[in-house]
């Protein structure tokens, strides 16, 4: 599954993700800037925060409660586009998914 990371400055990076990997794991393996994955995917750090388009959000599926809570605790303003990439399980049907990297505040 090829997914695309876009940096705040517009730099695009395509990453070939393995099935079952999370967005965060694929990013860390490929060394994508701005995706740290400090907590190892336990939904505790929000250093894997990304923003997605409405269409991609729908493809990923709804947030679990734990993801929702983490986003609310670290962001003043949780936009509907905010997702934690460690909670995005990559599947073949997510081909071409675009994850916009955001600076963690």
Q: Which residues of the chain form contacts with ligand FES (CB under 6 A)?
A: 24, 37-39, 41, 43-48, 70, 84, 86
Element (H, E) at 82: strand 82-84
Q: Which two tokens stand for residue 28?
A: 């860390």
Closer residue to ligand FES in complex, CB, 10/105 = 105
Minimum distance of ligand FES from residue 36's CB (angstroms) = 7
Minimum distance of ligand FES from residue 61's CB (angstroms) = 16
**CA–CA separation, 26 vs 77, rounded Å?**
26
Closer residue to ligand FES in complex, CB, 27/56 = 27
Minimum distance of ligand FES from residue 96's CB (angstroms) = 22
Q: Specify whether the CB–CB gap between 24 and 37 falls below 8 A.
A: yes
Closer residue to ligand FES in complex, CB, 46/94 = 46
Burial class from Cβ neighbours inside 10 Å (0-12, 13-18, 19+) for residue 9 reads exposed
């Amino acid at each position: 599954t090829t997914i695309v990371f876009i940096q705040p400055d517009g730099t695009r990076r395509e990453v070939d993700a393995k099935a079952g990997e999370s967005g965060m794991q694929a990013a860390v393996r490929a060394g994508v800037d701005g995706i740290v994955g400090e907590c190892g995917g336990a939904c505790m750090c929000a250093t894997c925060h990304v923003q997605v388009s409405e269409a991609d959000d729908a493809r990923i599926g709804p947030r679990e409660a734990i993801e929702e809570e983490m986003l609310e605790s670290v962001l003043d303003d949780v936009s509907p586009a905010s997702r934690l990439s460690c909670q995005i399980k990559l599947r073949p049907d997510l081909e071409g998914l675009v994850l916009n990297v955001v600076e963690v505040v």
